[in-house]
């Protein structure tokens, strides 16, 4: 059985930089990879797959779920949860887009009081 690759420090740092702007978010080791949470809800999970590729999974609203299910690489709908979507990340990843997606995931998972503190993207 293939092993999961170690996460590149650069990917962890990039996600951490994005999530650090979200109130009361924090980083935590996951069963594999790293996840970021608000309260007890996961905002995003970064991990390496047995196929040696790296993925971010996060929450999406129903329209995003349908879109991600049909857009194809690098986007996908996860095989678990009704609102879990993701993106394969690599050297071509658009980190501005990732920031928007992770902010939206946060807004779906965080209490309204915290969501009200989120600064809109310039």
The predicted structure's pLDDT at residue 120: 66
Whether 49 is in a domain gets the answer yes
Whether 122 is in a domain gets the answer no
Whether 86 is in a domain gets the answer yes
- Domain of residue 16, CATH code: 3.90.1150.30
Sheet with 54-59, strands from edge to edge, namely 25-29, 34-38, 41-48, 54-59, 84-89, 75-77
Q: Give me the chain's average pLDDT, please.
A: 93
Which one, of 120, 102, 100, 122, lies nearest residue 38 by Cα? 102
Whether 42 is in a domain gets the answer yes
Whether 2 is in a domain gets the answer no
Whether 91 is in a domain gets the answer yes
Range of the domain at 43: 9-115
- pLDDT tens-digit map of 75-103: 999 988 899 999 999 999 999 999 999 99
Sign (positive or negative) of CA dihedral 103, 16, 86, 25 = negative
The predicted structure's pLDDT at residue 16: 97
The predicted structure's pLDDT at residue 2: 78
Whether 70 is in a domain gets the answer yes
Q: Is 80 exceeded by the pLDDT of residue 122?
A: no
What percent of the chain is predicted at pLDDT more than 70?
A: 98
> Domain tally for the chain?
1
Q: Pick the range with the lowest mean pLDDT from 37-41, 93-97, 100-104, 117-121.
A: 117-121
Residue 87 DSSP code: E
The predicted structure's pLDDT at residue 13: 97
Whether 105 is in a domain gets the answer yes
Q: Is 80 exceeded by the pLDDT of residue 121?
A: no
Q: Is 80 exceeded by the pLDDT of residue 113?
A: yes
Name the E strands within 1-122.
25-29, 34-38, 41-48, 54-59, 75-77, 84-89
């Amino acid at each position: 059985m293939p092993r999961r690759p170690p996460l590149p420090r650069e990917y962890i740092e990039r996600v951490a930089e994005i999530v650090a702007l979200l109130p009361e978010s924090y980083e935590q080791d996951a069963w594999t990879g790293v996840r970021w949470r608000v309260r007890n809800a996961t905002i995003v999970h970064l991990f390496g797959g047995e196929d040696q590729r790296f993925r971010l999974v996060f929450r999406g609203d129903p329209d995003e779920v349908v879109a991600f299910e049909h857009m194809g690489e690098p986007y996908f709908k996860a095989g678990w949860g009704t609102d879990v979507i993701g993106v394969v990340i690599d050297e071509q990843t658009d980190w501005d887009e990732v920031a928007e997606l992770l902010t939206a995931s946060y807004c779906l998972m965080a209490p309204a009081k915290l969501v009200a503190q989120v600064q809109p993207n310039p």
